Amino acid sequence: MHASHSSAAAEETAAQAIEERRYDEAFPQYVSLAESGSTTAQLRLAWMYLLGHGTARNLAEAERWYLKAAASGFPYAEYLLGDFYRRTERYDAAATWLGTSASTGYLPAMYALGVLYRAGAGVPRDLQRAQSYFEQAASRGHVFAMKEVASELFRSGGLRSKAAGARLAIRATVRLIRIARKNPQSDLILH
C-alpha cells in the first residue's frame, strides 16, 4: 500500500512539473515511474520524447514507450500509438492500432480510423466504411465525427439533407465550445 501511495505522489509531483513546464525536472521522474510499469508515466514519457520536452527529441524512444503503454490494453494508449504512427506516416501500423482501439468503442480512434479509410491511408480507400465510423462516433457525441457526418449530409443530397447537415454542424460547433470550456482533454473532442 505504501509503495502505491508513494507512486501516486510521485506521479502527482511529475504532473505538476509538466503543468508548470519544468520538463527537465519531470523527465527523470517519469523515467522512473515508466520503468516501474505506470501506463500513465509511459504515455507521458513517450510524449516528452516525441516533442523533446526535458530531453532530446527521439522518435524511437517515443515509439518504444507508446508500445509499452499500448501493451497494457488501455484503449487510450492504443489510440495514442496509432496516432503516433499516423503522424509519422506509418499508416499500416496506424490503422492496426487505431483499429484495436476502435474495436473497444473508443471514439477518437473510431474517428481517426474513419479518416484513414476516407484517405485510403494504411487501409483500402472505403468511403462507406469511413462514413460508418464517423456515424458511430457521432451518434455517441464525438464532435469532429459529427462535423464529418454534417459535411456528408450537406454534400450528399437535396435541400432537406443540406438543412440537416447545417443543423448538425451548428450543434457540433456549440458542443465543441461547451466541451472545450469544461474539459479541453475530453475524448469527445480528441482527434
pLDDT digits (tens, 9 = 90+) for 50-59: 999 999 999 9
CA-CA distance, 111 to 92, in Å (whole number)?
16
Residues 106 and 183 in one domain: yes
Is the confidence at residue 89, as pLDDT, over 60? yes
Residues 47 and 94 in one domain: no
- Amino acid 185: pLDDT: 86
User: Tell me, what CATH number does 85's domain have?
Assistant: 1.25.40.10
Residues 8 and 77 in one domain: no
Residues 66 and 6 in one domain: yes
Is the confidence at residue 2, as pLDDT, over 70? no
Residues 172 and 84 in one domain: yes
Cell numbers for 182:
469544461
Is the confidence at residue 110, as pLDDT, over 90? yes
Residues 60 and 78 in one domain: no
pLDDT digit string, tens, across residues 114-171: 999 999 999 999 999 999 999 999 999 999 999 999 999 988 878 899 999 999 999 9
- Amino acid 158: pLDDT: 86
Residues 86 and 166 in one domain: yes
- Cβ–Cβ contacts within 10 Å for residue 17, how many? 18
- Amino acid 1: pLDDT: 40
Residues 77 and 26 in one domain: no
Is the confidence at residue 13, as pLDDT, over 80? yes
- Amino acid 5: pLDDT: 59
Look at 63-72, 97-106, 134-143, 168-177 and tell me which has the smallest mean pLDDT.
168-177
Is the confidence at residue 47, as pLDDT, over 50? yes
> Domain of 48?
1-71
**Residue finishing a domain among 71, 88, 123:** 71
Mean pLDDT, rounded, of the chain? 93
**pLDDT band at residue 8, thresholds of 50, 70 and 90?**
confident
Residues 159 and 182 in one domain: yes
Higher-scoring residue by pLDDT: 2, 101: 101
CA-CA distance, 140 to 143, in Å (whole number)?
9
- Amino acid 6: pLDDT: 75
Can you give the three-state secondary structure of 46-107, one letter per residue?
Answer: HHHHHHCCCCCCCHHHHHHHHHHHHCCCCHHHHHHHHHHHHHCCCHHHHHHHHHHHHCCCCH
Q: What is the mean pLDDT of residues 163-190?
A: 91
**Residue finishing a domain among 21, 45, 71:** 71
Residues 107 and 126 in one domain: yes
- Amino acid 79: pLDDT: 97
**Residue finishing a domain among 51, 71, 91:** 71
CA-CA distance, 94 to 31, in Å (whole number)?
25
Residues 65 and 103 in one domain: no
Q: What is the mean pLDDT of residues 40-69?
A: 97
* Number of structural domains found in the chain: 2
Residues 49 and 123 in one domain: no
